[in-house]
Structure 1
Amino acid sequence: MRASTLTAFALALSTLLPLGASAQGNGTLDKVKSSGAMVVAYRESSIPFSYLGGDAQPTGFGWEICGKIVDQVKKATGRADLKVSTQSVTSQNRIPLLVNGTIDIECGSTTNNSDRAKQVAFAINYFYTGTRFLVKSDSPIKALADLKGKKVVSTAGTTNYQVLRKINAEQNLGFDLLAAKDHAESALLVKSGRADAFGMDDILLYGLRASEQNPAEMAVVGEAIQVEPYAIMLRKDDPAFKKLVDDVLAGMMKSGEFEALYKKWFQSPIPPKGINLNAPMSKELRDNLKALSDKPAL
């Protein structure tokens, strides 16, 4: 390589390196501090974690926790004037929008697993759930084996859809697996008779059932196929922001504030219809109030 060519190459490289370093080195807190803005993502129908309330604004268990995280971000960055924007996400676009910087944190019902950890990071696990099925109350479906020859729907982009596809093949169950854009559409397919069962995290199914005009018309059935943790989702390789988020969660779990918030959203009437999920805290979650683990599902 000639000297002139080498010099040109070096100059080009020197202009590229700062961009790469900036993309990797400047974490969420730096981004927020310099821009004075933060984008918090929510789900539209993940009751009671993150959903639209009667005023068409985000609300829920995870949403309230993220509000406390935002308060801490303001303190850590010295931006009391922080402009907080909200962004609706789906199961399919939540990871891409986080990775590309459109959103800064996702407060919903996202499963923390090893595969997703290759792309994103997760805070301390704040819920544990398993895949079960929402059916009409007069349905003959009571267990996994009853799905043979049936139409089963799950929400596209979820771990539940992957699990159902895998178990369908492994156990030769022979059900037709459909994909819906979100949980509300999945439930509607069952209500309208276009699907026989909706496979999803049981707590979300209880929330959808409780929000129906006549909850008795729907039932949650079957043994949980697997138990997985939910966690707030963050960008990967951002230790300062992850520590801030983890510290907020750990503080709430140690002080009893987390348990009080759990009772508010899982064992009390919640908006917009005053439904009560009557969902006691699982052993796995109670254990994690002490362990403070962010361990993913396999």
Structure 2
Amino acid sequence: MGQTLARSVIGGFLWLAAASLLATTAFAQTVGSEGLSPTLSAIKTAHTVRLGYRESSPPFSFLDQSGRPIGYSLELCEAIVEEIGVEVDDPNLKIDYVKVTSDDRIDAVLQNKIDLECGSTTANAERGKRVAFSPLMFVAGTKLMVPKGAAVFGVADLKGRTVVVTKGTTNEQAMHAADKKYALGLNIVTSPDHEQSYQMLADGKADAFATDDILLSGLIARHKAQDKFRVTGDYLSYDPYGIMFRKGEPQLAAVVERAFRKLGSNRDLVPLYNKWFTARLPTGERLNVPISLQLEEAFKAMDDSASANN
């Protein structure tokens, strides 16, 4: 990943976080301790936090062999739930897991169907107009999955061919942009979720599957398909991930921020990353994706911020 562009993406992500913190400050000045925000109040009343999860976004959010939602994003969300418990004075909050897809996840937040979306969602300025995001938890980018023996090494090699993308993703936008930029005449088709996109490629209904590189690697590992498919091409987008929640609730934003700072101050973020990206997953596969310098720097910044506030 080009360092200059990657840093600019992270810089934009930090801008979103700064805007959230400014809103938090304004909230503290005007509301103080008069009550809980709507989401926190509803959680306190129901004694339950609703976590949106994805079925096939390993290692962020996916199902284990027993059908239980697990993953890196869900563990981060569980840390946020603990902090919500502190905020609403209820240490025994229950968790209700609610399935979402790439296409309906934002609406699930906007329509109050979930409290936190714990998947593999890119935080960008366009989405930031509608929803709020946690601090940075990962940086990915759009690449291509192709059959191992295919003569495809970049998007230009797909001229006139079929590419599947998952509906409602930034990858869908990236492929349309590449198609237009390079006049490729692509047949871009969509499917409801990453697993279905993978199956379209596996069934020969598409020549490539375009999504974030880490998700492609996760699907290949999960299907033990290293001898069938490979990830290739230059990055067609750079996508910083965050936990998504409702916009306009600075008190909730402050709780999310505090949960991340606590993980940073306890130096839990890198071990948590390693648990899901370098160690063997509960489902048996291993991704072997070491932490990037950019993400390690972002985690260190959270550690430094937490130390400065102590």
Normalized against structure 2, the TM-score is what? 0.83
**Cα distance, 1:251 vs. partner?**
1.9
Which residue does 1:52 correspond to in 2? 63
Could you tell me how far apart the structure 2 residues matched to 1:154 and 1:256 are?
Answer: 36
Deviation at 1:215, TM superposition (A): 2.1
Q: 2:281 aligns with which of 259, 266, 270?
A: 270
1:284 aligns with 2:290: no
The corresponding residue for 1:202 is 213
Is 1:178 matched up with 2:189?
A: yes
**Distance of 2:298 and 2:66 partners within structure 1:** 33
Distance (Å, rounded) in 1 between the aligned partners of 2:66 and 2:221: 19
Query: Gaps spanning 5+ residues in structure 1: where?
Result: 1-24, 294-298
1:73 aligns with 2:91: no
Question: What letter is aligned with 2:105?
Answer: R
Amino acid corresponding to residue 258 of structure 1 in structure 2: L
Report if the CA contact (8 A) 2:133-2:242 is conserved.
yes
CA drift at 1:284? 1.7
Q: Which whole-Å CA distance do the structure 2 matches of 1:268 and 1:83 have between them? A: 28
Counterpart of 1:145, as a letter, is A
1:270 Cα deviation from its structure 2 partner: 0.3
Letter in 1 for 2:63: L
Instruction: Summarize deviations over 1:238-279 as a string: whole Å, max 9, x none.
Output: 11111111111122123221100111100011021x111110
Q: What are the superposed Cα offsets for residues 77-96 of structure 1, whole Å, 9 maximum, x if unpaired?
A: 12234232110000111111
Q: Are 2:156 and 2:182, in contact at CA under 8 Å, matched by a contact in 1?
A: no
Question: Which letter does structure 1 place at the counterpart of 2:276?
Answer: W
1:163 is matched with 174
Quote the Cα distance in structure 2 between the aligned partners of 1:211 and 1:86: 22
Instruction: State the Cα deviation string for residues 46-70 of structure 1 (Å, max 9, x = none).
Output: 1000101111010001111111111
CA distance in structure 2 between the aligned counterparts of 1:26 and 1:275, rounded to whole angstroms = 41
The aligned residue for residue 104 of structure 2 is 93
**Mean Cα displacement is larger for which, 116-125 or 213-222?**
213-222
CA distance in structure 1 between the partners assigned to 2:132 and 2:302 by the alignment: 15
C-alpha distance in structure 2 between counterparts of 1:35 and 1:214, whole Å: 43
Unaligned 5+ residue runs, structure 2?
A: 1-35, 304-310
Q: Distance in 1 between matches of 2:212 and 2:302?
A: 22
The letter for the 2-side match of 1:278 is: N
Alignment pair present for 1:119 and 2:139: no
Deviation at 1:178, TM superposition (A): 0.6
* CA positional deviation for 1:221: 0.6
Q: Which residue type is aligned with residue 124 of structure 2? A: N
- Return the offset for 1:292: 4.2
CA offsets per residue over residues 160-182 of structure 1, 9 Å max, x none? 10111122112211111010100
One-letter amino acid of the counterpart of residue 177, structure 1: I
CA contact 2:37–2:252 (8 Å) conserved in 1: no
- Structure 2 counterpart of 1:217, from 214, 228, 246: 228
Counterparts in 2 of 1:83 and 1:251: CA distance versus 1, 3 Å: closer
Which deviates the most, 81-90 or 112-121? Answer: 81-90
Q: Secondary structure at the match of 1:215?
A: coil
CA distance, structure 1, for counterparts of residue 156 and residue 215 of structure 2: 22
By how many angstroms is 1:120 displaced? 0.3
Report the Cα distance in structure 2 between the residues aligned to 1:85 and 1:74, rounded to whole angstroms: 15
Large movers: runs of 4+ above 6 Å: none
The one-letter code sitting in structure 1 at the alignment partner of 2:41 is: D
**Identical columns (%):** 37
Instruction: Answer whether contact 2:277 2:286 (CA < 8 A) is retained.
Output: yes
CA distance in 1, matches of 2:226, 2:181: 33
Which residue identity lines up with residue 208 of structure 1 in the other structure? L
Q: Name the SS of the counterpart of 2:269 in structure 1.
A: helix
Asked if 1:42 corresponds to 2:47, the answer is no
* Structure 1 position 231 matched with structure 2 position 242: yes
